[in-house]
Amino acid sequence: MTTPENTPETIQPMMATRNLSKRYEDGVLALDSLDLSVNPGQIYAMLGGNGAGKTTTINLFLNFIDPTEGEAIVDGIITHQEPLKAKAKIAYVSENVMLYPNFTALQNLDYFSHLGGKTSYSAEDYQKVLLRVGLQEEAHDKKLRSYSKGMRQKCGIAIAILKDAPAILLDEPTSGLDPKAGMEFINLLQDLRDEGKAILMSTHDIFRAKQVADIVGIMNAGKLVAEKQREELVGEDLEKLYVEYMTGYMDTAVQATDASVTVG
């Protein structure tokens, strides 16, 4: 039976921001009243130039920093009010994955799984997930010190999968991956989405964003300047759209500067 609780319109987002703003101590307004949401089974890709506020958004979800205004919410939990409870719901892979260089991949997986309270995984489970992310068997017993950036990235993704959290945050996840690994990674994200995970990622890769995302958000100077659903992007040249939004912003900025010069 369809009740108001289970109609699609009332799905509770797994991740959301409400009027989320961040002004850093030095006065930079890095994020300006951001409102976005990601449902279970959705991939949201944030695009935007350097300094647009993408990493700031992710760091606010993780409560690495406190918001100046508004809130980031994970599974109904306001992250800055209950950071530990919120973190338990999130798996996170940063651009520069921080793992133990003197541990092998298997040891890193074991260490981080135990740290996250998952104590029942076997060596076979670790091997399976490493193969799933595209790390060949001969690498599993090698110390991370000898890994390339892309290999470390894959290891980080394996740890995120083992955490089995409903929300996944990825900051430029394909930046260290070669084209083949990038494609495999996109397939992996699609699998995770199909398992019902909510995924929020930042990327500079417009091509991959269009390929994988259910929603693409374009950010500029801390503002979400455009948001497009997958259906709206069919037949659209996302790269052109992106440049138009960037140029549109630049025009506005130039006008604002001109105006202040005129007034001043």
| Residue ranges binding ligand ATP (CB under 6 A) | 24, 26, 28, 30, 48, 50-56
Pick what 155 binds: ligand ATP, Mg ion, none; C-beta below 5 to 8 Å, kind-dependent: none
Pick what 250 binds: ligand ATP, Mg ion, none; C-beta below 5 to 8 Å, kind-dependent: none
DSSP for the chain reads ---TTTSGGGPPPSEEEEEEEEE-TTS-EEEEEEEEEE-TT-EEEEEE-TTSSHHHHHHHHTTSS--SEEEEEETTEETTTSHHHHHTTEEEE-SS----TTSBHHHHHHHHHHHTT-----HHHHHHHHHHTT--HHHHTSBGGG--HHHHHHHHHHHHHHHT-SEEEEESTTTT--HHHHHHHHHHHHHHHHTT-EEEEE-S-HHHHHHH-SEEEEEETTEEEEEEEHHHHTT--HHHHHHHHHHHHHHHHHHHHHHHHHH-
Min dist CB 122 to Mg ion, Å, is 36
Min dist CB 48 to ligand ATP, Å, is 5
Min dist CB 212 to ligand ATP, Å, is 18
Pick what 53 binds: Mg ion, ligand ATP, none; C-beta below 5 to 8 Å, kind-dependent: ligand ATP
**Which residues bind to Mg ion, rule: CB under 5 A?**
54-55
In the complex with ligand ATP, the residue whose CB is nearer, 39 or 68, is 68
Residue nearest Mg ion by beta-carbon distance: 55
Pick what 243 binds: ligand ATP, Mg ion, none; C-beta below 5 to 8 Å, kind-dependent: none
Min dist CB 52 to ligand ATP, Å, is 4
